Every structure is written in C-alpha cells, then in structure tokens.
Amino acid sequence: MDEVITLAHGSGGEKSRELVEHLFLPAYSNPYLNPLTDSAILTGGEKIAMTTDSYVVKPLFFPGGDIGRLAVSGTVNDLAVSGACPKFLSVGMILAAGLEMNVLQRIVQSIAATAKEAGVQIVTGDTKVVEHNSADRIFINTTGIGVFPAGRSIPPQKIEAGDCIIASGFIASHGMAVMAERNSLGFIPAIESDVAPLGKMVGGVLQDSENVVHAMRDPTRGGVAATLCEWVTTNTDILLYDQVIPVRADVRAACKILGLDPLFIANEGVVLFAVAQSCAKNVITALQKDSHGCHAVIIGEVRKGIGKVVALTEIGSQRRILMPRGELLPRIC
C-alpha cells in the first residue's frame, strides 16, 4: 500500500477498493460487512435505537486512547444510555491527502479492537479524501444501531424528586488527558483518558428489573454540569455532594493548576444515572461488578425545587452549577 493517503483513495476507483480490501475488510471482517454492498443488511428488531457522532479530537492519539477508540466508545455509549443493546456501527472517514498510511492503520486497528471489546460489528463504511489543507488529518463519523432486548424497560430520561444521582466512576479524566497532552503539561506519569465502551456495564444495571432507572447519560461535551443542567426540571433541584464526586488525584491536580472545575470537563468512560432511592445500592452493586464501574458512587440527589443545580461545598455553602457557556476546550471528542 502507499505510504500516504492521496486523493485517489477517495475516488471510488482502484485505490478506494485497495483501501477497503487490504485495510478495512481484514480489520472489521464480519458477515454483514463482507459482501461490500452499498447498504448492510441487518437483523433488526421491532424497536431499535439510532445515534450518530462525528469525532474531531486533537491530538489523534492521547494517553489512554485515540480517535478510533473514542469513535467506537462514544457512539456505543450513546446507544447504551438509551437502554438499547449496541449492535452495529457504520464508520465514515474524512481523510486529508497526505495522512500517513501507518497512522490510518493504527486508527483502524483501534476501531476494530474497541468494537470487539464492545461486542459491536462495523457493518458499513465510507471514505472521502479532501485536499491536504481542507481538513485536519482525519475526522470520523460513527453511527450506531442498538436493539432493545425483549422486556427491557426504556428509561424515560426524566428525573424525579427523591432520585439518587450516581456516577459510574472517576470524572473529568478524558478531558484532562487530552488537554494535558495538547498543552504538553508534562505530568509524569501522563494523565490517562478512561475512554471505553460501557454497553456491558449499563446492560448489567438494566438486566435487573428491580433497578428503576429514570435517566442515564454519558456526560461528554459540557461534562457532568451540562448533563445535570439538561436533566433538571422546573419543579426539581439537583444537589451534588461536592466532597464525594470522584476525581482521580492527578486529574484533580491538573484541574487545580489550570483553574478548571472537573464538573465541566468532558468524560468518555463515565455514565451518570438518576435512579429511585430504593434501588440505588443495588445499582451501585451492579456497576461495581464491571471493571469500568468499580468506583461507582452516589454523588447527589434530586429534590423538589425550581430547576437549580447546586453543589454542596466542603464548608457547607452552596455553589450554583450553570449550563456551560462558550467553549472551554474545542475538539475534545
């Protein structure tokens, strides 16, 4: 294969076919993809979930992950928090001419490995190539399809007064890993992103019918703050217990140095739950059975209120959490 991507690789002709046959197909191979038809023909279900995300993270490789692992995990997690079982992914790539073939190969291997970890199949794809200066190396879109197992209840995505807010693990790790890498902050060891596909962890919670989940979300762009501000309703408040919010020591240190609040930093390996208080302990037990959920903890509660999100600080005062404005850090995912 060529050493770099050229415009011919996006032509639909010989070079396109070479890329498909020698790179994508060996990495992703499965019965749905292999016929290489215009559309993949899939076993569906009466009720299916569909979600899409484009990934433009910079740099492409960062401690703990890369754009490929991110592109699979982010979309799988969006399916999982809708209550569906993630099944199929499409991968659409926009490449800039001049991209090194070995970079593309590493990314494709990472997509394949993460898809395997997540139990999903790459069933269809598309590759476009633009001029060298018309895109920043590689952008990836993944669109996912999930199915709802028979009898599984779909979370209404509506919190209720009395709910417990649970975080499945340490927050802010992904955003700070990318930020530290991009700005060469030089932490030793490097801050690692926790980017991971969480379908199995979420499935473990949902398969126990005693777990009454009112809302689930993976708090990516805008962080925990944006998710909670979207969840809160006109007649509820969310109260966060500032002191128990799980943040890794290195991530907390980086946030302090940069003057950032971990609540506003993007996550790619965390799910937030709003669950009935009666089952909160049970949900935490289910989460802790999964390696990605072993630090799950109750971080707050929902009360009757007027639509505010507040954090109860160490000294007992309340800090108002508002919907993030502006852009803290572009191209985090």
**CB nearer to its own copies: pick between 9 and 248:** 9
Q: How far apart are CA 271 and CA 295, in angstroms?
A: 12
Q: Which of 60, 72, 78, 118 binds its own copies (CB under 8 A)?
A: 78
* 45 is an interface residue for its own copies by CB under 8 A: yes
Of 170-178, 217-225, 246-254, 284-292, the segment contacting its own copies by CB under 8 A is 217-225
* 23 is an interface residue for its own copies by CB under 8 A: no
Q: How far apart are CA 160 and CA 138, in angstroms?
A: 42
Q: Which of 129, 178, 195, 265 binds its own copies (CB under 8 A)?
A: 129
Residue that has been written with the tokens 């020591």 in this structure: 249
Of 51-59, 235-243, 245-253, 273-281, the segment contacting its own copies by CB under 8 A is 51-59
* 145 is an interface residue for its own copies by CB under 8 A: yes
**CB nearer to its own copies: pick between 48 and 113:** 48
Q: How far apart are CA 47 and CA 197, in angstroms?
A: 22
Question: Which phi and psi (to 5°) does residue 301 adopt?
Answer: -145, 160
Q: How far apart are CA 213 and CA 216, in angstroms?
A: 7
Residue that has been written with the tokens 């991110």 in this structure: 70
* 29 is an interface residue for its own copies by CB under 8 A: no
* 15 is an interface residue for its own copies by CB under 8 A: yes
DSSP label at residue 242: G
Region 86-125 residues binding its own copies, contact defined as CB under 8 A: 88, 90-94, 123-125
Q: Which of 4, 25, 27, 53 binds its own copies (CB under 8 A)?
A: 53
Q: How far apart are CA 149 and CA 99, in angstroms?
A: 41
Of 195-203, 221-229, 235-243, 249-257, the segment contacting its own copies by CB under 8 A is 221-229
**CB nearer to its own copies: pick between 227 and 236:** 227
Q: How far apart are CA 199 and CA 330, in angstroms?
A: 26
Contacts with its own copies by CB under 8 A: the residue count is 80
* 152 is an interface residue for its own copies by CB under 8 A: no
**CB nearer to its own copies: pick between 73 and 124:** 124
Bridge pairing between strands 85-96 and 121-130: parallel
**CB nearer to its own copies: pick between 42 and 113:** 42
197, amino acid identity:
P
Of 132, 108, 126, whose CA–CA distance to 12 is shortest? 126
Instruction: Beginning with the edge strand found earlier in the chain, give each strand of the sheet holding 121-130 in spatial order.
Output: 121-130, 85-96, 138-147
Q: Which of 200, 217, 248, 292 binds its own copies (CB under 8 A)?
A: 217
Region 290-329 residues binding its own copies, contact defined as CB under 8 A: 323-328
Residue that has been written with the tokens 């509820």 in this structure: 236
Considering the complex, what minimum distance in angstroms separates the CB of residue 290 from its own copies?
20
Q: How far apart are CA 205 and CA 54, in angstroms?
A: 28
* 214 is an interface residue for its own copies by CB under 8 A: no
* 43 is an interface residue for its own copies by CB under 8 A: yes
Q: How far apart are CA 32 and CA 145, in angstroms?
A: 13
Q: What is 210-234 written as a DSSP string?
A: T--EEEEE---TTHHHHHHHHH--T
Region 171-190 residues binding its own copies, contact defined as CB under 8 A: none
DSSP label at residue 137: S
**CB nearer to its own copies: pick between 55 and 250:** 55
**CB nearer to its own copies: pick between 253 and 329:** 329
Region 230-289 residues binding its own copies, contact defined as CB under 8 A: 266
